[in-house]
Structure 1
Amino acid sequence: MSEAVRDAPATEDLTPHPRRHAVFVVVGVALLMFSLDQTSVATALTTLGADLDADLAWTGWTLTACAVGQVLALPLGGRLGDQFGKRKVFLVAVAAFVLLSALSATSTSIAQLIVCRFAQGVAGGVILPATSGLVAFHYGRERDRALALFTSVFPMGSIAGPVLGGLILTTWSWHGIFLVNVPIGILLVVAGALLIGEPPRRRPEKVDAGGIALLLGTLVSGMVAITLVGSTTGGGLAPVLVAVCGVLAVVSGWAFLRHARVHPDPVIPLRLLRGGGLGIMNSTNVLFGAALVGFGALLPVYAQTRYALLPLAAGVLLTARAVGTIASSGIAVALLRRLGHRPLVLTGFGLIISGLLVVAVPPAGTSPAVWLTVGAVLCGLGMGLAGPAANNAGMHLVSDEVTAVSGLRIMFRQMGGIASVSVITAVLSASAEPGRAGGVAFAVLAGLLAAAAVGMSRIPNHRGRW
């Protein structure tokens, strides 16, 4: 949001466009489609594994591959819009997302589906900055309110997506989760071509393609190594492959850091990685993303494997979490200036830890569905309190580089989610009792968040405006 406002030229006509509300609907539905796709797939992991003959360690890649694509595309989205035009980039990205949804639906192997999901993540990562830029341009002087309302679109997908995924799995099949995007996307491309105007372009900055490639190599090789540890595939070659991928991950990571030291505008600036509390904040964002993305991705699998809940019931758990998040995030925003960010982050982390521990242990005097719902709501309430406050804390540390810090926050949280999903799916796949192993994994995640809370207690608190 801040990038879209900052990028507006000083001479831009700020008169609201007469078709601004129609444009808001078009780009909002596109963002909602991407959000629904991300959250509904989480309910289908066990079904995908059975249908495509793949263990959970590899079906989890349908989530992490999409997240990796999104992480890599986020630095590109704004710059592509500057070079080719936000309208054109938006339409091409939506069309690509629709085509890839159709290819995902017709996948006959887990490898084909993973490739399609990675490309879907790239398309979605390009859509995100384009939509904000288009809303800001069409609303002109009213852009602040429009963008504030626009930020509520993505969480709506978190509420509806799991239920939609569960309904489709119950009445149809996993193919339908991807096929529903096709007619919606076609209508969006046609409506967008007719309604959306082209914002003024600005001179694009150079893209750190080398840094993005090294980051991709580090993430993918690390994910493959983790997956092979827990996968039943690979046979006698598995230890060798794990070692090779592990070495590649280390070498790529070292090369990435070395590249970032010398590049004038690296995809991850080293000056924003440590010092002045930034190291604590970045570590916190990784663990917060592990809880936010990992819990949301794996709770349905856990509910199905340990307690044999149906996909629809498992999906409702994520809806309960999303409702809690939305409810408490409004409270966090209202209290932020009065209390500062630190009490809200620590309280939120306490609720998340409590929710994870509730989910990790067997039900106490009630049904598994009710027990897991209580844990999901606790996690949702904590995430809603901690999220806005942690955002504010990071930007306050480097108030003159808000856009860069915001981008890194999203990137580190996605990386945390990628790591948690990769590790936990590998553990579940390798375990003889995946349900119990999932409980242990959630308990370990609670412990890591407790350590992050200790670090956050050292961040200076700030009240009022800044």
Structure 2
Amino acid sequence: MLLRSPSSGPSRTESTRGAAVGTLLEGDEPLPGRRLVFVVVGLALLLGSIDATSVATALPAMQTDLGGSLGWIGWTITIYSLGQIVALPIAGRLSDQFGRNRIFLLAVAAFTLTSLAAGLTQDIAVLIAVRALQGIAAGAIMPSATGIVAERFGRNRDRAIGMFTSIFPIGAIIGPVVGGVLVSYTSWRSIFFVNLPLGVVILIGGLLLIGVRRQGRKEFDGPAVDVPGIALLVLFLLGAMTAITVLSSTGALPVRLVVTVAAAVVAVLAARRFLRHARTAANPVVPIRLLRGRTFGPLNLVNIVFGVVAIGFSAMVPLYAEHRYGIGPLVAGSLLSVRAIAMIATSSGSVAVLRTVGTRKLMIAGFATLALGTGLLATPPPGGLSPEVWLSITAGITGLGMGMAGPSSNNASMHLAKEEISAIAGLRAMFRQTGGIAGISITTAVVSVAANPGLTQAWTFVVFGLLALVVVPVILRLPDHRGAW
């Protein structure tokens, strides 16, 4: 984030750096009405966070209502994450070019309209397309809203942004419960309809409090957004997701094989072209130096596995509880809230001891605990415990693991390139979301063709746990950071 006095003009280099987050700040004096602005933009961020997790409780209801295999229903989650991956790097540039206030309001309006469309759709293909647009809108909210908060709070922006980012785990707690309540007592469609009044309130509040004032146009050295690189990345992920889903779906086997092979070829070609682009482009979305090497390569692998285990786990637990134990959507969704509470509680302790213990030990302890939690989740309840209690305990254990592994792996990546913090943060999020997409796609594809979906998904959790253990030797190769920056 870039700070400057009101009297200093932005240089070309400064403006380029500011494009990464969409925030070129005007001064250090806090502005009037900042707390109300914080509430408005924070509510928008909360809506996006809730919609990322609440849908997980509605997958069986969606499948019953709309038809289609579980593999295709799972796209309602993965395509939302993919939309966010696309939007995050682009929205920062657009916020700088057209004004963060305008981009924020447009993103909220788009999120509200796509929520209406998602609730009204009668076809799974249409719902997937709408969820992609909704994910793009949700991803565009983050950089523009962060810039608004930073501008309004002036010299107190560090604390304000710290509070702002804490909204995400709150959404992880609320989302599954909201989804469970709505699915249990109304319909899966109400998960999207509930966004409409809140979206209108945010739009009205935003127009009254921040308006559509346009900040000064910024200049850039070359393209600030790598559109070809993002397109290749999306093509690779879509190709891989399609190949996995089509292979496990119903229909004529020859047709499925042809489509699967074609999608896999597209994914492989896009991946090769993406790597070549990362080596040769002037401003690639993922620089090749941040993809490979003795430190970046292993750390990127750690982040992918973290996404598979943590994000994939988040989406699949309610489905597992419903399939294997016949637990209703409300209780099934509450399991994710238990995990989120445990994660938040452990994260604060991990941050406190980070400089004493070091990043490596915390990462190892976190991934080992994740492996333990996912492994225990797959086993039947011991000693006469009810499934609800046992699943709550095991979900809580995985939350403890995430609370240890998350902050330590975040700091480990930042220490590798202190001068490129924005790029590293974006890369870390991209790899974790990619891992989550892979975990969810493969799991839903396998479960959709299984004779016993609950037991099959239990074995996928065993695989998740083994993956978490496999990266422990990789973590041992990473530098162990203890001190302050």
**1:354-398 residue CA offsets vs partner (Å, 9 max, x unmatched):** 100011111112111111111100000110111011000011111
Structure 2 matches for 1:247-266, cutoff 5 A? 247-266=265-284
How far off is 1:299 after superposition? 0.4
Task: Report the secondary structure of 1:68's partner residue.
Answer: helix
Query: Whole-Å Cα distance in 2 between the matches of residues 201 and 315 of structure 1?
Result: 45
In structure 1, the residue matched to 2:230 is: 212
Please tell me whether the aligned partners of residues 22 and 144 of structure 2 are also in contact (alpha carbons under 8 angstroms): no
Q: Does residue 1:203 correspond to 2:219, yes or no?
A: yes
Deviation of 1:235 after TM superposition, in Å, equals 4.8
**Inter-partner Cα distance in structure 2 for 1:275 and 1:96:** 40
User: Contact between 2:363 and 2:408, CA under 8 Å: does it hold in 1?
Assistant: yes
How many residues were matched structurally? 465
**RMSD of the TM alignment (CA)?**
1.5
Alpha-carbon distance, 1:464 to partner: 1.8
Determine if the alignment matches structure 1 residue 80 to structure 2 residue 94.
yes
Cα offset, 1:8, TM superposition: 5.4
Distance apart, 1:407 and its partner CA:
0.4
Cα distance, 1:236 vs. partner? 3.7
Question: 2:125 is matched with which residue?
Answer: 111
Larger displacement relative to structure 2 (296-305 or 208-217):
208-217
Say whether 1:20 aligns with 2:34: yes
Counterpart pick for 2:54 among 40, 61, 66: 40
Aligned match of 1:30: 44
Give the Cα separation in 2 of the matches to 1:202 and 1:346. Answer: 43
Partner of 2:108: 94
What is the correspondence of 1:322-341 to structure 2 with a 5 Å cutoff? 322-341=340-359
2:251 paired with 1:268: no
Which amino acid in structure 2 is aligned with residue 432 of structure 1?
A
Query: Are 1:228 and 1:234, in contact at CA under 8 Å, matched by a contact in 2?
Result: no
**Letter paired with 2:218:** R
Q: What is the Cα deviation at residue 234 of structure 1?
A: 5.3
For 2:219, the aligned partner's letter is R
Report the Cα distance in structure 1 between the residues aligned to 2:477 and 2:233, rounded to whole angstroms: 30
Equivalence for 1:308: 326
For 1:367, give the aligned amino acid: S
Per-residue deviation, residues 300-329 of structure 1 (Å, max 9, x unmatched): 001100110000010010000000011001
Give 1:203 shift. Answer: 2.5
Distance 1:103 1:233, change over 3 A: farther
Q: Which residue of 1 aligns with 2:14?
A: none
Partner of 1:424: 443
- SS of the counterpart of 2:286? coil
CA distance in 1, matches of 2:441, 2:404: 26
CA contact (8 A) 1:211 1:256 kept: yes
User: Aligned-pair distance for 1:232?
Assistant: 1.8
Structure 2 residue runs of 5 or longer lacking an equivalent are 3-16
Distance in 2 between residues matched to 1:91 and 1:7, nearest whole Å: 15
Q: Matches of 1:258 and 1:294 in 2, distance apart?
A: 29
Please, which moves more after superposition, 406-415 or 222-231?
Answer: 222-231
CA distance in 1, matches of 2:82, 2:238: 8
- Determine the C-alpha separation between the residues in 2 that align with 1:129 and 1:241: 37
Partners in 2 of 1:371 and 1:340 — Cα distance? 32
Distance 2:118 2:436 in 1: 22
What amino acid is aligned across from residue 437 of structure 1 in structure 2? T
Give the gaps of 5 or more residues in structure 1: none
Which residue number in structure 2 is paired with residue 243 of structure 1? Answer: 261
1:227 corresponds to which of 245, 248, 257: 245
Preserved contact between residue 166 and residue 313 of structure 1 (Cα < 8 Å):
yes
Aligned equivalent of 1:123: 137
Q: 1:9 to 1:166 in 2, by over 3 A?
A: closer
Q: What TM-score, normalized to structure 2?
A: 0.93
Which letter maps to 2:94? Answer: L
Residue 447, structure 1, aligned to residue 463, structure 2: no
The one-letter code of the counterpart of 2:71 is A
**Match in the other structure for 2:382:** 364
Q: Identity across aligned pairs (percent)?
A: 47
Partner of 2:176: 162
